[in-house]
Amino acid sequence: MYDGLPIFDADGHVIEPTTLWWDFIDPDFRSALEPDAARLGETYGRLMPRVEGRPTFQGSAMMTEYLRSDSVDDMQRERFGSIAEQGFSPAGLIDAIDAEGIDLAAVYPSFGLHVPYCRDLSPPLAVALARAYNRWIGEYAREAGPRVVPIGLAPLHDPAGIEAEIRRSVREDGVRGFMIRPNPIGGRPLHHPGNERVFAALQELDVAAIIHEGRGANVTYTGEDRFDTWYASRAASHPMEAMMAFAGLAVDGYFDRLPRLRVAFLESGTGWLPYWLDRLDEHHEMWAAGERPDLQHPPSVYFERQCAISGETDDRFVGDVVRFAGAQRVMWASDFPHMECHWPDSLRLFMEKTELDRDALRSVLWETPCRIYGLDPAELPKTAEGS
């Protein structure tokens, strides 16, 4: 707890071990993996290997050189101390959230953000890579205990195959949501009709669809054809991919057909939301009757009914978005232990500058993520402070 409030970090991250892909993938697919050591060095060349001869990392020249150097390891040891020395183990993660005053943390991958989503992967291999990660995160969360909420991976190369993996992983790995990248796969946008079976399965299983971009993957992304810097391409891809993902799901009727589906948009900032919903509603009023006459509601209604968005510690628009959309549509996220996080002061800094009142904070910091991840707030573990 923090100042008597229970805290749910809606988007933290793990750091995977370098052996994950080889140890957890089905043996028949192991030969498709090859460390990309020449480009990325020994550590990151195994965390983001070549698959079927293709690189899974497609960052800028600057970021590629940064990974190949010792700078990342040096930064992690300097910033995270014993937690980094423990290899970001389950026990280390509990130490990290204890230092912040966090009760629960939903955890996402770092390098799994990229590998199973690589463009041009054969569909069976994409599913096998997702299954490898999902098995590993299930074990990791069981070792960490009930304060860690595992999130699985769901690349869309093979919708039928990943639907089966989602069902297996919910049953066997205990995941409470699946990360779906917003990027097109094989020319198919997120809202392609062939993908609807995946979202229908998530609704049936009562687990969340999490839209989470991650610059660096070898995928099709907004700005790819315009920018050669990490600076510009990452600034564009995270919010703009989220914006197009929501527009596609709303305008193509996913929320009408799947009215109990819960969708969250993470690591994209919150500031785009009021502008985008207002613009989409305006266009709905002008053109829906001619082009989408079956839509039951304007897009803002779907967001209010089924969606949420996360803001991090230094997001200056969280208060504005809470006033626009309601605290029940906004969550707080630490982004631990990535470069942008402010650990161990992420929560303290957010609380010091927030304009939100106590009721809104309770929603943003606890009730909204509980609802999105389908968890009963009354049954969840909390740290002793303030309880």
Domain-embedded: residue 126: yes
Cα–Cα distance for residue pair 293/101, rounded to 1 Å? 49
Distances (CA, A) of 362 to 3, 9, 40, 264, 370: 11, 12, 43, 18, 11
Determine the pLDDT at residue 50.
96
Percent of the chain with pLDDT over 70: 99
Q: 264 lies in a domain?
A: yes
Q: What is the pTM of this model?
A: 0.96
- What is the Cα–Cα distance from 101 to 83, expressed in whole angstroms? 16
Please report which confidence band the pLDDT of residue 110 belongs to, taking 50, 70 and 90 as the band edges: very high
> Mean pLDDT over residues 37-57, rounded?
95
Higher pLDDT, 66 or 315: 315
- Show Cβ contacts of residue 188 under 8 Å, excluding neighbours closer than 6 positions: 156, 194, 195
CATH (domain of 179)? 3.20.20.140
Residue 84 forms part of a structural domain: no
Mean pLDDT of 35-50: 95
Residue 387, pLDDT score = 36
> 21 lies in a domain?
no
**pLDDT at residue 385 in the model:** 47
Question: Is 90 exceeded by the pLDDT of residue 72?
Answer: no
Number of domains in the chain: 1
Average pLDDT, the chain: 95
Would you place residue 375 in the very low, low, confident or very high pLDDT band (cuts 50, 70, 90)?
very high
Is residue 156 a part of any domain in this protein? Answer: yes
* Contact by Cβ (8 Å): 246, 308: no
b/e sequence 195-204, b meaning 16+ C-beta within 10 Å: bbebbebbbe
Provide the pLDDT for residue 386.
Answer: 39
Burial category of 326 from C-beta neighbours within 10 Å (exposed 0-12, middle 13-18, buried 19 and up): middle
* 127 is a domain residue: yes
Q: According to the model, what pLDDT value does residue 299 have?
A: 98
The pLDDT tens digits of the residues spanning 255-305 come to 999 999 999 999 999 999 999 999 999 999 999 999 999 999 999 999 999
Tokens for 265, please give them. 């948009």
Query: What is the spatial distance between Cα 236 and Cα 258, in angstroms, rounded to a whole number?
Result: 29
Domain residues for 319? 89-379
In a domain, 23, yes or no: no
Q: What is the pLDDT of residue 381?
A: 81
Domain for residue 53, yes or no?
no
Chain segment 335-372, per-residue pLDDT in tens: 999 988 999 999 999 999 999 999 999 999 999 999 99
**Residue 2 pLDDT > 90, yes or no?**
yes
Supply the pLDDT for residue 380. 80
Segment 244-254 shows an average pLDDT of 98
